[in-house]
Structure 1
Amino acid sequence: MHSITSFQFNLNPDLFFGEGALSNIPEVITKNHFNRVMIICDEGIEKAKILELVLQQVRKTNVECSVFSNVEANPTTETVEAGMHLLERFKPDLLIGVGGGSPIDVAKAISMLATNGGGITDYEGIDQFSNTPLPLLAIPTTAGTGSEVTVFTVITDTSTEYKLTVGGKSLAPNWAILDPSLTLTLPPALTAATGVDALVHAIESYTSTMANVLTETLALEAIRTIASNLRQAVFNGENSSARGAMLYGSLLAGIAFNNTRLGNVHAMSHPLSAIYNVPHGVANSVLLPHVMKFNLPAAPEKFANIARAMGEYIDPNQPIMGNAYKAVIAVERLSQDIHIPKDFAEYNIRESDLVSMAEDAMKSGNILVNPRKTKIEDILSLYKQAIGQTLADTASIH
């Protein structure tokens, strides 16, 4: 039994969860007397006809509406600037971010800049802005990022090939609508990558040095839920029960890590996305087993609990490290079952970039809360393990 001590816990958005939750859009608009709505999404949301579903609800209120749909994966400072140009012309009083983490992160960035001015690079860090952001409603269409409940936005500065994080309590969306029906058309590969991303959030939150009894409870429940539903969601996307469970698991993980931060996986994934445009979920998925092996000695009891939550048998007669390692086995088995890549071979990562990537990773606040103390040499070693044989072949040429 955990000894319960004092802790702080933040949960900002008003949540609407369940089939048909999208129908709450008119209530949010009318109750708050909004007049001009700007929707931020990506082209995939348009093609999947999800944008039209959102617009149908918005139109019930007779407000003026504009759409910015040019968000890409790993969104950039240029994308935020383009969105700001539309905002300055249209002057909305409500933003709606629809999609995965990328559109919602862009919506967060724009909501903050709308009331604080300048560019997103001016606000790197925590609480570097003073004015309350423009009201924001987040509608996730993937079960992975948790961005709908977190106080962070991550944007790539293309001039420096660096992913910068901006955070602040008021940066979290004001409302979040989680409707599992919006995730039914997500392709298997994206379902897999975003699902493991949510699992990474839960595992890193649970093992974070900032974890407390409440975040640990949420994170473990997220691990159980994701581990028992991700395969079904990947291989039968129309399984509404599995889709709803995955969205719920992602939500729990997001609430947990919003209060604990994450760890080495996320610190290391950002340079991979910034320089090589590796999708965030894929980067986290490939890195996870390697970082777990590194962290095992620092928190064996917690990793044994993770293994149990993922359905592994924990033998009371076995040494703790043996039970802890079952968490790694469970993650590797799950990743293999849903066809997550084992390494980054297809991205042709150059050995000459590893030092600068490790230096960028060490700048992350997530390194500070990782359960095992980490030096830059450790990050370099973990990168080499995850990148695989391609890097070894490249290295042998020099």
Structure 2
Amino acid sequence: MSHSILLPRIMEVGRDACNKLPTILNSLNIKKPLIITDNMMVKLGYVDRLNIILESAAITADVFSDTVPEPTESSIKAGVHQVQHQDYDGLIALGGGSPIDSAKAIAILGKLGGSIRDYKFPRQVNESGLPIIAIPTTAGTGSEVTRFTIITDESNNEKLLCVGMGFMPVAAVIDYSLTLTVPARTTADTGIDAMTHAIEAYVSQKCNVYSDQQALSALRLIGANLQTAYHDGKNEGAREAMMLGSTLAGIAFSNSSVALVHGMSRPIGAFFHVPHGLSNAMLLPAITEFSISGSPKRYADCARALGVASTSDTDEQANANLIEYLKKLNDELKVPTLAQFGIQKHTFDALVDTMCEQAFASGSPGNNPRVPSLNEMNQLYKSLWTDSNDTPLDQTH
């Protein structure tokens, strides 16, 4: 059985890879790019840094910096309008997953028109939008190497999964030096997001021999370096490993799939505005524990790749170690419970049935090694809750 593998045409990897941006644009014959980013990238000086590099090669780029975390159709509307009324021939997506996801949607809507719901999965969007050069500034989403984007439809608080070759960046510039200023909270959330991508790609029912190798390599890098990057953000070795691990995990799930964690995570983000990586982190221990019986050997492989089990351990012992590790990791990285995040239990309970419907509709739960029933998913959501009087966690670390 063969598998279709999709990757960016160009990947520039390593410290100061951004300096190669003019060469990449020239090779793609892009003369008038638009930088899609957010206000934080402007404040940190990263947009100026890119413009200096571009101006040295006599390339002038406009900037759209109004993307927001967890992008919505309305948040990208102005960017779509700008693309439709200017003669840009390419987009440079600079930032975390949200600016890159925004750029993917802007590239398609700006060229092909319509609303984002028109491109919702199961439609395969293989039409070409404007070419995208993606420059990630966090080690987590892997969006720079995936054929997915997720945009929220505010009319019903639904995160729409959009899939297809049209969303794959034509080039990815993977420069870990851009992550050295990422705060600890974001480092934790994006790092666990990348870990989740790799685990789910490996245990997914759509896994293949190619994605398996990317996933296991990603887990080896992430398991050995996530805590160091969280506690010591200036550690370049850890930052480089996490950035590469994130990209490999992105390649893995883009060519395999995500599964139950992501399916259940998106509705939490849509209804309660929990950052995507953080909602994944909240779910990962419980969903892993639920799912192990569906693929015990593969989960044990993940435990060994993460470094929490040895080859001499039985699969059963390795999986027990994996669950213990994921729970302790959330404690160490100060992942809050739903209550600590500020969500009200009665509001959550009132929306659980709707969240289950949206999770199943995304298609991701069907890729899980153990596919839950509606009642089982309902109970998994409710298991995240704690009735204790949780005090808010310090979110600066």
TM category, shorter: over 0.9
Q: What SS does the corresponding residue of 1:12 show, helix, strand or coil? A: coil
Change (3 A) 1:160 1:30: same
1:193-342 alignment, distance < 5 Å: 193-314=189-310, 316=312, 320-342=315-337
Tell me if structure 1 keeps the 8 A contact 2:15–2:175. Answer: yes
Report the 3-state secondary structure (helix = DSSP H, G, I; strand = E; otherwise coil) of the residue aligned with 2:308.
Answer: coil
Letter of the 1:103 partner, please give it. P
Query: In structure 2, do the counterparts of structure 1 residues 281 and 89 end up closer, same or farther at CA, with 3 Å as the change threshold?
Result: same
For residues 331 and 305 of structure 1, the distance between their equivalents in structure 2, rounded to whole angstroms, comes to: 15
Secondary structure in 1 matching 2:68? coil
| 1:383 partner letter | Y
Relative to structure 1, is the Cα distance of residues 391 and 174 closer, same or farther in structure 2, using a 3 angstrom cutoff? farther
| Structure 1 residues 70 and 301: alpha-carbon distance in aligned structure 2, compared to 1, 3 A threshold | same
Letter of the structure 1 residue corresponding to residue 69 of structure 2: A
What CA distance in whole angstroms lies between the structure 1 residues aligned with 2:329 and 2:343?
A: 25
Of residues 58, 64, 70 in structure 2, which corresponds to 1:62?
58
2:255 partner SS: helix
Q: Give the Cα–Cα distance (whole angstroms) in 2 for the partners of residues 223 and 122 of structure 1.
A: 35
- 1:195 CA displacement: 0.4
Length-normalised TM-score, structure 1: 0.93
Tell me the CA shift for residue 249 of structure 1: 0.3
| Equivalent residue runs for 1:154-165 within 5 Å | 154-165=150-161
Deviation for aligned residue 1:202: 0.5
Query: TM-score, normalization: structure 2?
Result: 0.93
In the TM superposition, 1:39-78 aligns within 5 A as 39-78=35-74
Q: CA deviation at 1:62?
A: 2.5
- What is the Cα deviation at residue 234 of structure 1? 1.0
Alignment check: 8 A CA contact 2:133 2:171 kept: yes
What amino acid is the match of 2:379?
S
The question of whether the paired residues in 2 share the 8 Å contact of 1:348 and 1:390 is answered with no
User: Shift of the alpha carbon at 1:8?
Assistant: 3.0
Match of 2:34 in 1: 38
* Aligned sequence identity (%): 37
- Counterpart CA distance in 2 for 1:317 and 1:179 is 37
Farther off after superposition, 221-230 or 379-388: 379-388
Structure 1 unaligned residues grouped into runs of 5+: 393-398
The whole-number CA distance in structure 2 between the counterparts of 1:208 and 1:173 is: 24
- Residue 372 of structure 1 aligns with which residue? 370
Whole-Å separation in 2 of the counterparts to 1:313 and 1:164 = 37
Q: Among 22, 25, 31, which residue is 1:26 paired with?
A: 22
Q: Which residue of 2 aligns with 1:396?
A: none
Name the amino acid aligned to 2:359: A
- Counterpart of 2:320, as a letter, is Y
| Aligned-partner SS, 1:243 | helix
1:115·1:131 contact (CA, 8 Å) conserved in 2?
no
Provide the alpha-carbon RMSD of the alignment: 1.8
The amino acid that maps onto 1:365 is G
Q: CA deviation at 1:314?
A: 4.1
